């Protein structure tokens, strides 16, 4: 097929006409420039991290009498993990007369009974625990948090998603930072219960480690802004209320409130040495649903708040970092555009210089160092700082890069939907409780349907994989393009891994839903 196309295209002289070549070249170079710009920002974050990592935050003093705290556990159809998180919250080491626990349950399945039974169990043992069950999901998670806040007793609010398992000392290790009256939120680092379960969970763990260990630390210790990550953090109640409270006009209510709170003058603290373990999505469609929500929500928040941040009187360094932080998901859209342009690049020279020239070599090396190499260095540094093997991490880079590329089409869709103002429901990430040592391991070996995953999207991902395989074949046959072969293979492998893995999970999920009403309800 490629031979026939090659012969036809070679005979069509207008493809090399400046009216065709230069528009394609312009688009291609703009995309490469944008990707390289965000790659350069990764280098900047690593430099900023090393420059400021020794500025370890410490409590201004310690509370003589510990303040009142409310722990909120928002959940929706979390039958697999509800018991575990409720038990962990009730096991927090904090004075009982100053600790309230709110279980914010919007469930519609049998987890309603599981949650109610567990709450009654702890009430009987003298724990101040309250079940707030809504018959609707207005505002989704943000709506549940907003409705519960007026009846919360605590001066400080601790939030855990259903798949998190806080240690008993979590509150005592974080609360004293609020002796500084300007601190509005304390965020801790996520750890991963099922990091080593599969190549997918290992990749996710490395992605998240980079976000927390490098990004959060660099920003926070250099007086730039960070965001609350939706869970495993502590809020000063006043910081929530003075910023306008929880709002649900974006899919990332946590990022939205974080920026509004910091605009109101509150400071945040990030504690990388305080870890709260949680479960990573163990199958590809659950991961895709999570990534789509995070990506779309970040761009929604950028549209909503970035103009306000840029017009505010905060320092320039804060504005610049806010821009890169909130718009960084756009890289997925740029990567998708670049992938689409790779095929015509075999027939039309999309560079301002002739192939093989010094100028062409400089552009190629610059794109590699700013795009690919920056991502590799970023994650190597994060793993090294966390005490993990640099060599073992380096060996995982092909898989890591393939997953990052493969998820790009899914996340590009989220960017486009946000830019166009298309609304979509808040789709919870399915929780499995697959971790070794869990009370029942009930989620192991099952696939929970993810309703937000569409068959047409999976078809597009598989189609992109085949498209990239055609590019691989052209690279093998064409002179002077063999150096691009490893990258084309990563693109093809990434799209096919995500697409075919999604197809398998979709089929397994539909079988599970047909066989078990519970599986269908959990979605």
Rounded mean pLDDT of 11-15? 49
DSSP-assigned letter for residue 236:
E
How far apart are alpha carbons 90 and 60 in whole angstroms?
28
pLDDT at residue 277 in the model: 97
Tell me the average pLDDT across 503-510. Answer: 86
> Which band of pLDDT confidence, cut at 50, 70 and 90, is reported for residue 433?
confident
128 counts as catalytic: no
Mean pLDDT of 286-300: 96
Q: Are 97 and 68 in contact (CB under 8 A)?
A: no
Residue 439 has a pLDDT of 46
Q: Which two tokens stand for residue 371?
A: 């795009």
Q: Which of 196-200, 297-301, 336-340, 519-523 shows the lowest per-residue confidence on average (mean pLDDT)? A: 519-523
pLDDT of residue 520: 47
As a whole number, mean pLDDT of residues 298-319 equals 98
Question: What pLDDT is stored for residue 233 in this prediction?
Answer: 98
pLDDT of residue 362: 59
Identify the active-site residue in 161, 191, 197, 254. 254
Residue 24 has pLDDT above 60, yes or no: yes
Q: Over 60: is that where the pLDDT of 178 sits?
A: yes
> 299: which residues sit within 8 A by CB, 6+ positions away?
326, 327, 329, 330, 414, 415, 418, 419
Beta strand residue intervals within 77-135, DSSP E: 99-105, 129-133
| Phi, psi angles (nearest 5°) of residue 312 | -75, 175
Nearest to 486 by CA among 475, 502, 478, 496: 475
The reported pLDDT for the residue numbered 480 is: 65
Count other Cβ atoms within 10 Å, centred on residue 120: 11
Q: What pLDDT is stored for residue 438 in this prediction?
A: 47
Residue-level pLDDT at 56: 95
Q: What is the pTM of this model?
A: 0.91
Q: How far apart are CA 197 and CA 295, in angstroms?
A: 25
Question: What's the pLDDT at 523?
Answer: 45
pLDDT above 70: residue 453: yes
Whether pLDDT at 503 is above 90: yes
Q: Mention every residue, 6+ apart, whose C-beta is less than 8 A from residue 75.
A: 82, 85, 103, 104, 105, 106, 107, 111, 115, 161, 162
The angle subtended at Cα 470 by Cα 465 and Cα 471, nearest 5°, is 95
The mean pLDDT value for 34-58 works out to 95
CB 261 within 8 A of CB 243: yes
pLDDT at 13: 47
Span 82-96, average pLDDT: 97
Q: Which residue has the tokens 């859209």?
A: 333
pLDDT-derived band at 246 (thresholds 50, 70, 90) equals: very high
- d(Cα 89, Cα 158) in Å, to the nearest integer? 10
pLDDT of 18 above 80: no
Contact 381, 214 (CB under 8 A): yes
Of these residues, 106, 191, 197, 209, which one is catalytic?
A: 106
Confidence of residue 280 (pLDDT cuts 50, 70, 90): very high
- The two structure tokens encoding residue 332: 């997925």
pLDDT higher than threshold 70 for residue 437: no
Closest of 358, 361, 356 to residue 479, by C-alpha: 356
pLDDT at 349: 66
Q: Is residue 3 pLDDT above 90, yes or no?
A: no
Identify the pLDDT of residue 371: 73
The chain-wide mean pLDDT, for the chain, equals 89
- CB distance 165 to 88 below 8 Å: yes
324: Cα separation from own chain's centroid:
15
Whether residue 327 has pLDDT greater than 90:
yes
Contact 94, 66 (CB under 8 A): yes
* Window from 36-40, 154-158, 161-165 with minimum mean pLDDT: 36-40
Mean local confidence (pLDDT), 67-88? 96
C-alpha span between 257 and 237 (Å, rounded) = 12
Residue 282, pLDDT > 70, answer yes
Both tokens of 239, joined, read 């910081």
Residue carrying structure tokens 């999207």: 457
Catalytic status, residue 254: yes
Each residue's pLDDT tens digit, 373-420: 889 999 999 999 999 999 999 999 999 999 999 999 999 999 999 999
**pLDDT top residue among 514 and 113:** 113
Domains of the chain and any CATH numbers: 2-49+330-429+446-522 (no CATH), 69-281 (3.90.550.10)
| Cα 5 versus chain centre, distance | 40
Classify 450 as helix, strand or coil.
coil
pLDDT at 19: 62
Q: What is the pLDDT of residue 391?
A: 92
């Amino acid at each position: 097929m490629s031979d026939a196309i090659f012969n036809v295209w070679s005979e069509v002289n207008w493809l090399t006409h400046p009216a065709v070549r230069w528009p394609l070249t312009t688009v291609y170079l703009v995309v490469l420039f944008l990707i390289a710009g965000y790659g350069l920002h990764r280098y900047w974050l690593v430099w900023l991290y090393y420059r400021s990592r020794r500025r370890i935050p410490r409590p201004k003093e310690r509370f003589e009498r510990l303040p009142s705290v409310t722990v909120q556990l928002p959940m929706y159809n979390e039958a697999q993990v509800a018991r575990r998180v409720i038990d962990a919250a009730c096991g927090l080491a904090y004075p009982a007369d100053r600790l309230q626990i709110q279980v914010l349950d919007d469930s519609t399945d049998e987890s309603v009974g599981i949650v109610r039974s567990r709450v009654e169990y702890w009430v009987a043992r003298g724990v101040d625990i309250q079940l707030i069950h809504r018959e609707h999901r207005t505002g989704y998670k943000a709506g549940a948090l907003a409705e519960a806040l007026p009846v919360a007793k605590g001066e400080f609010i601790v939030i855990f998603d259903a798949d998190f398992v806080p240690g008993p000392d979590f509150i005592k290790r974080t609360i004293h930072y609020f002796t500084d009256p300007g601190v509005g939120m304390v965020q801790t680092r996520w750890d991963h219960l099922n990091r080593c379960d599969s190549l997918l969970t290992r990749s996710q763990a490395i992605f998240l480690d980079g976000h927390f260990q490098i990004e959060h630390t660099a920003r926070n210790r250099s007086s730039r802004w960070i965001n609350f990550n939706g869970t495993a953090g502590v809020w000063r109640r006043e910081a929530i209320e003075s910023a306008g409270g929880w709002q649900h006009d974006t899919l990332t209510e946590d990022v939205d409130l974080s920026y509004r709170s910091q605009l109101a003058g509150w400071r945040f603290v990030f504690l990388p040495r305080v870890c709260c373990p949680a479960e990573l999505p163990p199958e590809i469609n659950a991961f895709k649903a999570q990534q789509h929500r995070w990506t779309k929500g970040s761009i929604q928040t950028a549209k909503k708040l970035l103009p306000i941040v840029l017009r505010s009187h905060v320092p320039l360094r804060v504005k610049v970092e806010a821009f890169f932080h909130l718009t960084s998901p756009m890289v997925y859209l740029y990567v998708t555009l670049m992938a689409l342009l790779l095929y015509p690049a075999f027939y039309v020279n999309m560079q301002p210089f002739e192939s093989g020239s010094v100028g062409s070599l400089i552009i190629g090396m610059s794109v590699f160092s700013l795009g690919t190499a920056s991502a590799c260095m970023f994650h190597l540094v994060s793993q090294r700082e966390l005490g993990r093997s640099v060599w073992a991490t380096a060996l995982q880079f092909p898989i890591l890069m393939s997953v990052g590329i493969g998820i790009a089409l899914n996340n590009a869709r989220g960017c486009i939907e946000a830019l166009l103002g298309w609304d979509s429901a808040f789709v919870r990430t399915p929780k499995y409780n697959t971790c070794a040592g869990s009370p029942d391991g009930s989620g192991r070996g099952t696939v929970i349907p993810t309703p937000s995953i569409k068959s047409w999207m999976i078809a597009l991902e598989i189609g992109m994989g085949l498209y990239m395989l055609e590019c691989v074949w052209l690279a093998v046959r064409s002179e002077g393009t063999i150096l691009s072969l490893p990258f084309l293979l990563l693109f093809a492998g990434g799209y096919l891994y995500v697409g075919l893995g999604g197809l398998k999970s979709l089929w397994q999920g539909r079988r599970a839903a047909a066989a078990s009403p519970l599986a269908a309800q959990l979605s």
